[in-house]
Structure 1
Amino acid sequence: MTAPFEVSFVQRALWGGFLVSAICALAGTWVVLRGMAFLGDAMSHGLLPGVALAALSGGNLMVGAVASAAVMTAGVTALGRTPRLSQDTGIGLLFVGMLSLGVIIVSRSQSFAVDLTGFLFGDVLSVRQRDLYLLGAALLAALAVAALGHRAFLALTFDARKARTLGLRPRLAHAVLLGLLGLAIVASFHIVGTLLVLGLLIAPPAAALPWARDVRGVMVLAALLGAGATFGGLLLSWHLGTAAGATVAALAVSLFFLSHLASGLRHRRPRPAPVPAPEAH
């Protein structure tokens, strides 16, 4: 059953998925706790213009993705400070604008369908050795940001006004958190594509939430669940002949439903009746 992992490109895909799972756990936990799923979806699709320009110019796709992520982060931060415009409205406008611009750029290429398919759905089996080094560096950066910003992120998530009174600068913390989210999405889009990146970004932390006692516990369990989805997804895709990235994302979402089903059953179990105290004679 595990024979596929003896193949070198599947091994690289596995390690790439493990690294991405850890990065997504660090950012995705805050996405789930703060209800930022729509923002994550918008930022993942907002990478298209930079990736498209890099592809057409023969440049590095990762550099293009980073540039687009920076634009999206700056745009969301700026529009979030506009008092007459709700945050969801600003995110939606950026989402549509960046996606439309990306499709326009890619449509100039003769290989439009191939480029767009690879961008949307990823190609986990094409991970190279140097990609693993980049993912390792991205994980170290994500760990540093998550560790240094943990207190500010925690206060921002549960009480933004208290964060301000404690001098934690919630606006700066929000901008840094957007940067962490952008880092996770940039690191992940090559593995599962932008349409499926939310599978690893949201499903493992959401699945871990009922079983962990604190935020760090959610992150650790989410990374383990993401790694399990990667292993199982690659194994299933090899034997069933399905798309690897999509199978990994689908398995991650399945783990979420199984987790919440198990959690619901756990809370519905009848508690044992108290044993009556012996009567005094």
Structure 2
Amino acid sequence: MIEWLTEPWQLAFMQRAFAVALISAVVCVVVGAFVVLRGMAFIGDAVAHAVFPGVAVGFVLHANLSLTGAAAGIITAVAIALISQTRRLNEDTVIGIFWAGSFGLGIVIVSTQDAYTGDLTSFLFGQILALGDGDVIAVAVVGAVLVALTFLLRRQLIAVSLDRETAKASGLPVLVLDMVLYAMVTAAIVVALQAVGNVLVLALLVTPAATARMGTERLGTMTAVACVLAAFGSIAGLYISYHYNLAAGGMIVLVLTGMFLLAWLAAPKHGLLWKRRSKEAAAPAAQ
């Protein structure tokens, strides 16, 4: 058992994978807590798909895929924030339009090439086992900036998330805060892309926070619990993928999903089994 736990840590590429997985988990949870609080998980999926045409452009031009993907994601996020201000269309509708349009654009751009390469495939499905020291440093720096920015703006973001009209009436720049949050979501997604890839990144952004949400109403507690769950799920997923030769990104997401299902079943007060037990206990009293 001890050898099972210590063997991966003796390999340099696994050490880098563990580091990036932990950083990505914490960053996505800190930003994702506001995504879950606002009930806007769809924006994470939309931005993840919006990154794809930027990646495709970088692929065609032989540029840095992370930079071109981040640029495309931020442009789309700002566009969503601006267009969502109209009362004629709700936020989900605008997000859905850009979700489909962005991914369609990416497919068209990629289709102009004769063949796909490993770089594009790894960006879609993650490349956590092939990262270098520079990748770890870049993820750590971006992650630290995102966490610090979230901490500085947490009160304003909470106010906008809970009651936009009241926040606007109190003088808060709601549109600017929306753009900042969308940009932060984009940056968190780009950070996590190397761990789980474009296809699965939404799970890292939303699932741990949603799992913690099953057990608490307080944002601070939810964020702390979600960070622990995300870190555990990422490490456990890497262990399983290493020992059983499975896809690392997919395994991380499956572990996180499994923890959510356990919380949905057994979480105090809000879990299915807890509610059923409460009803059974209340039935004799009612009689």
- When normalised by structure 1's length, the TM-score is 0.91
Question: Are positions 1:237 and 2:238 aligned together?
Answer: no
Partner of 1:48: 52
Opposite residue 198 of structure 1, the aligned amino acid is L
Return the alpha-carbon distance in structure 1 between the equivalents of residues 140 and 171 of structure 2. Answer: 33
Residue-by-residue CA offset, 1:56-106 (whole Å, 9 max, x unaligned): 222111111111111111210121123323322221221111111111222
5+ long unaligned stretches in structure 1: 274-281
Corresponding position of 2:92: 88
3-state SS of paired residue (1:255): helix
Q: What secondary structure sits across from 2:197 in the alignment?
A: helix
Decide whether aligned partners of structure 1 residues 178 and 120 sit closer, same or farther in structure 2, where only a CA change above 3 A counts. same
* Pairing 1:38–2:42 present: yes
Counterpart residue number, 2:285: none
Q: How many residues align?
A: 273
- Deviation at residue 262 of structure 1 after TM alignment: 1.8
Aligned to 1:276: none
- Give the alignment partner of residue 178 of structure 1, picking from 156, 176, 182: 182
Q: Distance in 1 between matches of 2:281 and 2:101?
A: 58
Q: How far apart are residue 115 of structure 1 and its match?
A: 4.8
* Matching residue of 1:24: 28
Shift of 1:272: 9.8
Cα RMSD between the aligned structures? Answer: 2.0
Q: 1:159 to 1:86 in 2, by over 3 A?
A: closer
**C-alpha distance in 1 between matches for 2:229 and 2:10:** 22
User: Are residues 1:77 and 2:81 paired?
Assistant: yes
Alpha-carbon distance in structure 2 between the residues aligned to 1:95 and 1:115: 23
Structure index of larger Rg: 1
Q: 1:117-136 alignment to 2 at 5 Å?
A: 117-136=121-140
Distance 1:184 1:102 in 2: 20
- Is 1:68 matched with 2:67? no
**What is the CA–CA distance in structure 1 between the aligned matches of 2:139 and 2:151, rounded to whole Å?**
18
Q: Which residue of 1 aligns with 2:228?
A: 224
Separation in structure 2 between the aligned mates of residue 109 and residue 118 of structure 1, nearest angstrom: 17
Change over 3 Å in CA distance of 1:272–1:104 after alignment to 2 = closer
Q: How does 1:100-119 map to 2 (within 5 A)?
A: 100-112=104-116, 114-119=118-123
- Residue number in structure 2 paired with 1:277: none
Amino acid at match of 2:250: A
